[in-house]
Each structure stands twice: as structure tokens, then as C-alpha cells.
Amino acid sequence: MLLESLRTQVGADYFYVYWTSGDRAKPAGQLRQRTLLAFLTADAAVAFAQRNRLYATEQPRLRRLSLLQLVHATLRTPAITAILFAAEHSDQPPPGRLPSGAHVDRASLLRSLHSAKI
């Protein structure tokens, strides 16, 4: 039910995520909160990473993930607070800004799972 609802909202089963390394140091005990950016095409993911200078290596670290894999990663990793399913359009945000799209936070996913069990 949760996946069907999300699929209707975001319009696809597979997305591309550009992985960056987490080299920024945080004090012990603090998690760096993150939002997963999921793009419909590999080109859109790489273009966003290049515009924002997110590349850490010569090779892009791009992964194709299913909707289930994205939800699973978000639920099992408390540092991931949301998934942003980027909208496909020609207007790209300026560097430093997130693209527009469907924002699904971790708390909403947990509530949906909890209500489905009742």
C-alpha cells in the first residue's frame, strides 16, 4: 500500500541517486542529517552533481535504485531524514539549491507503515 501510494505520487519505479562521500567531520555522537535526491534519469542526477560540484572522484558514483530500495534505505538509516524525488523539467535550480519535486520525509514513511499495521 505504501509503495503503491508513493509510486502514484512520484510516477516511477526506479530512480538515480548520485552518491557523495561523507568526508565532513562531525563531533562524536552527532549524525549528519541527509536528504536522498532521487532523479528519473542518470543525466539529471549527474548534471545536478556537476552543477553543485559534488564529484569527489574521477568516476561518477551513480546508482539506479528501486522505489523499495530508496524507502528501505531511508527507514533503516536515521540520518536520512527524507527523499526528494526531483521533478523532470528544463529549469534547473542554481548551484546550492535543491530541485523541486515530491518531498517524502522519514517520519511520514514511519507513520504510513504504522497505520498499515493497525
pTM for this prediction: 0.82
Averaged pLDDT, groups of 10, the chain, 118 residues long: 90 89 55 89 89 70 94 94 88 82 94 78
- Longest alpha-carbon distance in the chain: 48
Angle of CA points 71, 40, 83, to nearest 5°: 30
* Residue 66, pLDDT score: 97
Residue 46, Cβ density class (10 Å: 0-12 exposed, 13-18 middle, ≥19 buried): middle
Domain definitions of the chain by residue range = 1-13+47-54+68-118
